[in-house]
């Protein structure tokens, strides 16, 4: 990686740049780091948009965004509207194929086969998304730690894009197909030709077509065949076919992949997953490609303890912070780094700069960060900056002013005076953490203080205070600079942040350890990052991971119906594991199948029988004994797959998606010979399903077909499934069939009639995706759907969703554990267990719109059918009173949660919550034209604002101000904007973005910036205002006084926010989307805590924090959820969930410098 050039920015959007990975005519590719320190690659378009480069770049983003991440670098984000558009993708740590080969690596035999499989997998994913790469070459294949990845869609196009201009050639000549040179369009066959060329290069180390000029290369491509003698015979045949002169004669990328791996030809996703697994056998160089933070940490570790003490002061001199709190790099002079230091310390600074030469650059007598991304990539530096953030801006001002004062002859006019001097001295005396002042800076502050004393005739309190601050500030280290006795605190803070980050990285790889590490981080030092990690531990669904141990070559895997057994097959034989204990429970060596390595692994319903297909044979074994029960020769080599249905012994065999025959493995009888796509038959896009009776064959995906067995005649027993035709599944007893497209239908398997569970449709947002599957739990109480990376689980009885989950990559299979509490999915070589229990408790209440009292003690729930309002005591979890409520009603609580106002079209009543008695009642004004819409109590509880709806679409709101003691109407007026929550100064904050002065009865000039009406508004008692006015869910924060915006805005929301609420302390903000996704932010840090609580589509109408902020309540249609928020309560819940504490060995591995402690005592880990 090259260093940044002079004209390169420090960051682009939210991404900080570390260096240049490459550049070309279209743009520059940088290594960069996101706000959380994750490493990415970011491609930035040059500023000029000549020749339609901006349009081409947009096409690249379109192309890349369509491609599934099988052996390709996944696109993470893009901003095409920026002045310099950019695309952000995964960073692949490893060299290009060309670099590896030039440096001496050659690919042979299995290594070459796996490389071929990897690139064919990538091309299949690319073409499956309707995209053509058009520049596949060794430079665009990176050898990452998890296998090869195809990158750079710089000239890619989607299949629905127009042709390039006549005569325009895009690509690298030595890897371009013949048809491109004669002016034809570069289609998918051109990518296949390039695949063959890349294989020749990998095997020989030479480009397949070489000449001194473009014309010579063109002549070779158009007239000669490459030398394939270095390739193994089987692969040479495929490469020869791929490099045929006629594009129509070349195999498709999918056919190449089928020939290279054994997989289900009807299931592209499964085929891609098989190719991706094979690709993991190709590794990059052992030395790797360390991230920027790793490089910096290694340099830090190489220093002596005395030198490490000076690293923070040195690096913080190269950082500045602006008025909005945003940091950036700056040039620091040698005077700032060396000034006033004894010779020994100056030598240490010199050694520090040498040790960090990779990230620091020198110009004349100044130094700066050569890689600004270090501010995000190195956790230690992030901690130092955070600790001194408030003072770095002041330090920059002092340093600049002191230099100007010294350069201009030390004139009094250049000195700080008044509040600027007091602020500087206060920070220098009590606010510093890691920095020391230079002699010039200390002289500057001393001179300012002396000037103030001279100008003041008598010793005032101010001059005495300044003199005291000066004495403290001029101590070489400053009282606030960490001394030796504070080293432990500094160590614990840094360790807590690093361990919290490590916990967040291992949620899906080691979920139990991730939960324990988050607790350990909090116990070590209660930092914001540790609290965020704790909340994420409570939110995480993953509870366990089993990894299939490494084997020689590649392995194919299958998960049993009960999700408890993993069967793994490789060249060495069969291994059977209990995924709950991790123990090997069976298996045998050797398979004795002819042809390519076996694959297409499938288990029957009971898990007793195992079927596999090699390149030439089908075999069936008894899994317990290892005895081979069946062996069938196949007519073709490659392209076969097999699958069990719901019948114990009937196996369906397919070739490239067509059903070839079925075989009863109990009798060896074969039937349905040559069932194909002739006539009205189609290849199923889903695996064929034999029903539990063995008398019917169901084909789904794109359409639904039913065939009798063994006669294979058409029938129409399950009529609803012919409409819901994308996926089908049986309950374990065979009595019920689930069929799905955009909605799910349950069908009685005996009668064929649909079983209605309610009036509403059962919506499935992923069931129309490619390869979507359905799975019932063993008892039939739950149904799961999965497709690509998504999983959905519903409770069948009420169709209520209980799990919405997104995996890190494509799912192979999903199964319920018989205990009904767990779901497991197979992904690559891992089986990951998910907890189906809710992350929060709930009190069941009336179904209707609800409103919570401040503090969450009370819930008032509307019962629209009975025209009444129920009052629930959430402590007792019971309804304590009901009140009549008209057709149009509104209600609300005072801040002390002692009174509730109920308003409908007839009357307005104030209720004492302790006695449930009416304190007063008045008739509702304007009942013929306006109905109550919202109720808002002022913070002191003395007045109430009642907002009445407009009587017509063009009408005005009516706002009433009521005396809370008597019910007397103090003021009433019309308004074009509706009411909202009270601000501390007695105004209303309307969702329109205006404040309403209730004394004057009109909006005031001051406004907060809402482009359109806010979907949610909340005001804290401390004078902060939050509103969401973006479909993307952006939350803006303002101070009520002014009003003044607080930057930056809160990002990372899960969608458009429907409800917002502040904690009573004003330090936390909760927001929930219309889909029930609940998130929490730390308002002071302007940072989200954890991920999200999924309340699964609930209609949340009110949020409230408990008085101490430890619990968040959320009222929805029929329940009030109780979400633990307080750190100590979460610690108890997480320890109880894990069931044990962090072992001393794991503590040493992650917190080696911190003394061991039992973070989950037995009473918490039970």
CATH number for the domain spanning 790: value is: 2.130.10.10
Phi, then psi, of 953 in degrees rounded to 5: -65, -35
Q: Residue 26 to residues 53, 62, 86, 491, 903: CA-CA distances in angstroms?
A: 7, 16, 11, 46, 64
β-pair type (988-989, 994-997): antiparallel
- In this structure, how many other beta carbons lie within 10 angstroms of the beta carbon of residue 1001? 14
3-state secondary structure (DSSP) of residue 880: strand
- In this structure, how many other beta carbons lie within 10 angstroms of the beta carbon of residue 385? 20
Residues 198 and 305 in one domain: no
> Domain range holding 257?
97-149+161-289
Residues 22 and 124 in one domain: no
Which helix H or strand E contains 463, and what residues bound it?
helix 461-473
Taking only the tens place, the pLDDT of each residue in 739-784 is: 999 999 999 999 999 998 877 889 999 998 888 999 999 999 999 9
- In this structure, how many other beta carbons lie within 10 angstroms of the beta carbon of residue 1013? 14
DSSP annotation of 74 reads P
Q: Give burial (CB, 10 Å; 0-12/13-18/19+) of 770.
A: middle
Residues 278 and 249 in one domain: yes
Handedness of CA 247, 253, 259, 264 (dihedral sign): negative
Give the residue among 874, 957, 954 at the shortest CA–CA distance from 913: 874
Residues 381 and 312 in one domain: yes
Do 902 and 917 meet the contact criterion of CB atoms below 8 Å apart? Answer: no
β-pair type (932-937, 917-923): unpaired
Phi, then psi, of 719 in degrees rounded to 5: -55, -45
Distance CA 128, CA 271 (A): 12
User: What is the reported pLDDT for 270?
Assistant: 57
120-157 b/e (C-beta count within 10 Å ≥ 16 → b): bbbbbbbbbbebbbbbbbbbbbbbbebbbbbbbbbbbb
Distance CA 523, CA 496 (A): 8
Distance CA 240, CA 224 (A): 12
Structural domain count of the chain: 4
765 within domain boundaries: yes
DSSP annotation of 665 reads T
User: What is the reported pLDDT for 467?
Assistant: 53
User: What is the reported pLDDT for 133?
Assistant: 85
**CATH for 17:** 3.30.200.20
Residues 424 and 333 in one domain: yes
Distance CA 238, CA 259 (A): 8
3-state secondary structure (DSSP) of residue 623: coil
Taking only the tens place, the pLDDT of each residue in 170-182 is: 457 889 999 888 8
Residues 257 and 367 in one domain: no
Do 371 and 292 meet the contact criterion of CB atoms below 8 Å apart? Answer: yes
DSSP annotation of 102 reads H
Instruction: Give Cα 319 to chain centroid, integer Å.
Output: 30
Query: What's the mean per-residue pLDDT of the chain?
Result: 84
Angle (deg, nearest 10), helices 439-455 and 461-473: 170
**CATH for 223:** 1.10.510.10
1076 within domain boundaries: no
Residues 270 and 328 in one domain: no
Give the residue among 104, 69, 106 at the shortest CA–CA distance from 90: 69
Name the stretches of the chain with pLDDT < 70: 24-26, 47-70, 153-171, 262-288, 324, 426, 429-433, 455-487, 553, 595-598, 636-638, 657, 673-685, 926-929, 953-954, 1005-1013, 1029-1033, 1097, 1163-1166
Do 640 and 651 meet the contact criterion of CB atoms below 8 Å apart? Answer: no
**pTM, to two decimals:** 0.67
Handedness of CA 239, 243, 244, 249 (dihedral sign): positive
Which helix H or strand E contains 882, and what residues bound it?
strand 878-884
Residues 61 and 115 in one domain: no
227 within domain boundaries: yes
Residue 950 is encoded by which pair of tokens? 């407009």
Place of tokens 């109920």: 902
Domain-ending residue, one of 44, 60, 91:
91
Distance CA 239, CA 589 (A): 33
Domain-ending residue, one of 289, 304, 336:
289
Taking only the tens place, the pLDDT of each residue in 52-94 is: 566 666 666 666 665 666 677 877 877 877 778 888 888 888 8
What lies within 8 Å, CB to CB, of 436 at 6+ separation is 313, 476, 477, 478, 481
CA angle 308, 312, 316 (to 5 degrees): 155
Distance CA 853, CA 1104 (A): 7
Which helix H or strand E contains 586, and what residues bound it?
strand 583-589
612 within domain boundaries: no
Distance CA 901, CA 868 (A): 14
Residues 258 and 402 in one domain: no
User: What is the reported pLDDT for 158?
Assistant: 39
165 within domain boundaries: yes
DSSP annotation of 808 reads S
Which helix H or strand E contains 352, and what residues bound it?
helix 343-355
Distance CA 535, CA 221 (A): 60
Terminal C-alpha separation, the chain: 51
What lies within 8 Å, CB to CB, of 412 at 6+ separation is 447, 451
Angle (deg, nearest 10), helices 305-316 and 343-355: 80
Distance CA 1, CA 1112 (A): 48
Residues 264 and 333 in one domain: no
Residues 222 and 102 in one domain: yes
306 within domain boundaries: yes
Backbone region of residue 771 per phi and psi (left: phi > 0; alpha: psi in -120 to 50; beta: other values): left
Distance CA 423, CA 391 (A): 10
Which helix H or strand E contains 79, and what residues bound it?
strand 75-79
Do 872 and 859 meet the contact criterion of CB atoms below 8 Å apart? Answer: yes
407 within domain boundaries: yes
Residues 455 and 327 in one domain: yes
Domain-ending residue, one of 271, 289, 307:
289
611 within domain boundaries: no
């Amino acid at each position: 990686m090259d260093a940044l050039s002079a004209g390169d920015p420090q960051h682009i959007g939210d991404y900080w740049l570390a260096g240049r990975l490459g550049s070309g005519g279209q743009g520059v590719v940088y290594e960069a780091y996101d706000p959380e320190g994750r490493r990415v690659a970011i491609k930035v378009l040059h500023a000029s948009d000549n020749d339609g480069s901006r349009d081409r770049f947009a096409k690249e983003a379109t192309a890349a965004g369509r491609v599934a991440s099988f052996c390709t670098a996944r696109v993470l984000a893009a901003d095409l509207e920026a002045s310099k558009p950019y695309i952000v993708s995964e960073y692949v740590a490893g060299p290009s194929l060309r670099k590896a080969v030039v440096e001496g690596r050659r690919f042979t035999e299995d290594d070459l086969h796996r490389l071929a499989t990897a690139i064919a997998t990538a091309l299949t994913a690319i073409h499956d998304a309707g995209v053509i790469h058009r520049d596949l070459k060794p430079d665009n294949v990176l050898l990452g730690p998890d296998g090869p990845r195809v990158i750079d869609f710089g000239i890619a196009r989607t299949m629905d894009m127009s042709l390039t201009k006549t005569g325009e050639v895009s690509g690298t000549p030595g890897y371009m197909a013949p048809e491109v040179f004669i002016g034809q369009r570069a289609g998918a066959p051109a990518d296949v030709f390039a695949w063959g060329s890349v294989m020749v290069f990998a095997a020989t180390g030479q480009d397949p077509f070489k000449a001194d000029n473009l014309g010579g290369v063109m002549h070779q491509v158009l007239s000669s065949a490459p030398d394939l003698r270095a390739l193994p015979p089987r692969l040479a045949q495929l490469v020869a076919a791929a490099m045929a002169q006629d594009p129509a004669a070349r195999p498709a990328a999918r056919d190449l992949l089928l020939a290279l791996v054994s997989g289900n030809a009807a299931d592209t996703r499964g085929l891609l997953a098989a190719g991706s697994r094979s690709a993991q056998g190709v590794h990059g160089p052992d030395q790797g490609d360390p991230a920027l933070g790793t490089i910096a940490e290694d340099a830090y570790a190489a220093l002596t303890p005395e030198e490490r003490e000076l690293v923070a002061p040195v690096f913080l001199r190269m950082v500045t912070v602006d008025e909005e709190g945003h940091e950036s790099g700056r040039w620091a002079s040698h005077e700032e780094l060396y000034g006033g230091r004894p010779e020994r310390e100056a030598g240490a600074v010199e050694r520090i700069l040498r040790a960090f030469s990779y990230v620091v650059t020198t110009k004349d007598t100044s130094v700066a960060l050569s890689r600004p991304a270090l501010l995000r990539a190195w956790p230690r530096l992030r901690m130092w900056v955070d600790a001194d953030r408030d003072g770095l801006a002041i330090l920059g001002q002092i340093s600049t002013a002191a230099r100007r004062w010294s350069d201009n002859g030390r004139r009094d006019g250049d000195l700080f005076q008044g509040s600027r001097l007091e602020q500087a001295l206060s920070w220098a005396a009590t606010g510093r953490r890691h920095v020391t002042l230079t002699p010039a800076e200390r002289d500057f502050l001393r001179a300012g203080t002396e000037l103030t004393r001279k100008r003041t005739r008598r010793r005032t309190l101010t001059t005495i205070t300044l003199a005291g601050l000066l004495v403290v500030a001029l101590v070489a280290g400053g009282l606030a600079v960490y001394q030796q006795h504070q080293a432990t605190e500094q160590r614990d803070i840094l360790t807590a942040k690093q361990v919290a980050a490590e916990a967040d990285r291992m949620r899906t790889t080691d979920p139990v350890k991730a939960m324990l590490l988050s607790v350990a981080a909090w116990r070590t030092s209660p930092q914001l990052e540790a609290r965020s990690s704790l909340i994420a531990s409570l939110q995480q669904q993953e509870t366990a991971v089993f990894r299939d141990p490494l084997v020689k070559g590649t392995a194919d895997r299958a998960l049993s119906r009960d999700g408890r057994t993993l069967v793994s097959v490789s060249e060495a034989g069969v291994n059977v594991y209990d995924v709950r204990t991790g123990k090997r429970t069976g298996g045998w060596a050797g398979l004795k199948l002819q042809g390519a390595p076996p694959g297409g692994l499938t288990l029957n319903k009971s898990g007793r029988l195992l079927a596999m297909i090699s390149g030439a044979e089908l075999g069936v074994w008894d899994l317990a004994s290892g005895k081979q029960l069946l062996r069938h020769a196949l007519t073709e080599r490659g392209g076969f797959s097999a699958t069990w249905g719901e019948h114990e012994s009937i196996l369906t065999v397919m070739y490239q998606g067509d059903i070839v025959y079925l075989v009863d493995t109990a009798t060896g009888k074969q039937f349905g010979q040559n069932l194909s796509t002739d006539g009205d038959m189609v290849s199923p896009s889903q695996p064929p399903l034999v029903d539990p009776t063995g008398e019917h064959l169901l084909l789904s995906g794109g359409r639904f077909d039913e065939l009798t067995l063994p006669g294979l005649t058409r029938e129409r027993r399950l009529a609803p499934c012919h409409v819901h035709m994308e996926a089908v599944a049986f309950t374990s007893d065979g009595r019920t069939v689930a069929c799905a497209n955009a909605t799910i239908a349950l069908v009685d398997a005996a009668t064929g009639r649909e079983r209605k569970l309610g009036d509403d449709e059962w919506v499935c947002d992923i069931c129309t995706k490619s390869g979507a599957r359905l799975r019932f739990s063993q008892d039939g109480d739950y149904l799961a759907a999965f497709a690509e990376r998504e999983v959905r689980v519903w409770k069948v009885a009420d169709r209520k969703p209980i799990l919405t989950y997104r995996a890190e990559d494509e799912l192979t299979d999903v199964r319920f554990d018989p205990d009904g509490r767990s779901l497991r999915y197979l992904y690559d070589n891992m089986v990951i267990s998910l907890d189906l229990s809710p992350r929060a408790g709930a009190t069941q209440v009336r179904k209707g719109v609800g409103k919570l009292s401040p503090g969450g003690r009370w819930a008032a729930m509307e019962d629209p059918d009975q025209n009444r309002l129920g009052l629930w005591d959430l402590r007792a979890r019971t309804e304590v009173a009901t009140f009549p409520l008209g057709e149009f009603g509104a209600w609300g609580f005072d801040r002390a949660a002692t009174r509730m106002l109920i308003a409908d079209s007839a009357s307005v009543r104030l209720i004492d919550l302790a006695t449930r008695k009416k304190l007063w009642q008045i008739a509702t004004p304007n009942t013929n034209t306006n109905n109550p819409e919202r109720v808002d109590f002022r913070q002191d509880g003395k007045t109430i604002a009642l907002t009445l709806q407009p009587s017509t679409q063009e009408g005005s709101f009516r706002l009433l101000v009521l005396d809370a003691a008597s019910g007397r109407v103090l003021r009433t007026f019309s308004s074009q904007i509706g009411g909202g929550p009270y601000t501390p100064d007695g105004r209303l904050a309307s969702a329109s973005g205006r404040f309403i002065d209730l004394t004057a009865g009109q909006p005031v000039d001051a406004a907060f910036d809402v482009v359109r009406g806010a979907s949610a508004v909340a005001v804290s008692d401390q004078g902060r205002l939050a509103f969401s006015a973006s479909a993307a869910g952006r939350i803006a924060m303002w101070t009520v006084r002014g009003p003044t915006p607080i930057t930056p805005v809160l990002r990372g929301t899960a969608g458009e926010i429907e409800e917002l609420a502040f904690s009573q302390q004003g330090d936390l903000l909760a927001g929930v989307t219309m889909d029930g996704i609940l998130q929490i932010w730390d308002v002071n840090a302007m940072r989200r805590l954890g991920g999200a609580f999924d309340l699964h589509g609930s209609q949340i109408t009110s949020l409230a924090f408990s008085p101490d902020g430890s619990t968040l309540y959320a009222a929805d249609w029929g329940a009030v959820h109780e979400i633990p928020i307080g750190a100590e309560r979460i610690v108890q819940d997480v320890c109880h969930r894990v069931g044990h504490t962090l072992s001393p060995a794991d503590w040493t591995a992650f917190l080696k410098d911190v003394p061991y402690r039992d973070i989950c005592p037995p009473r918490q880990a039970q």
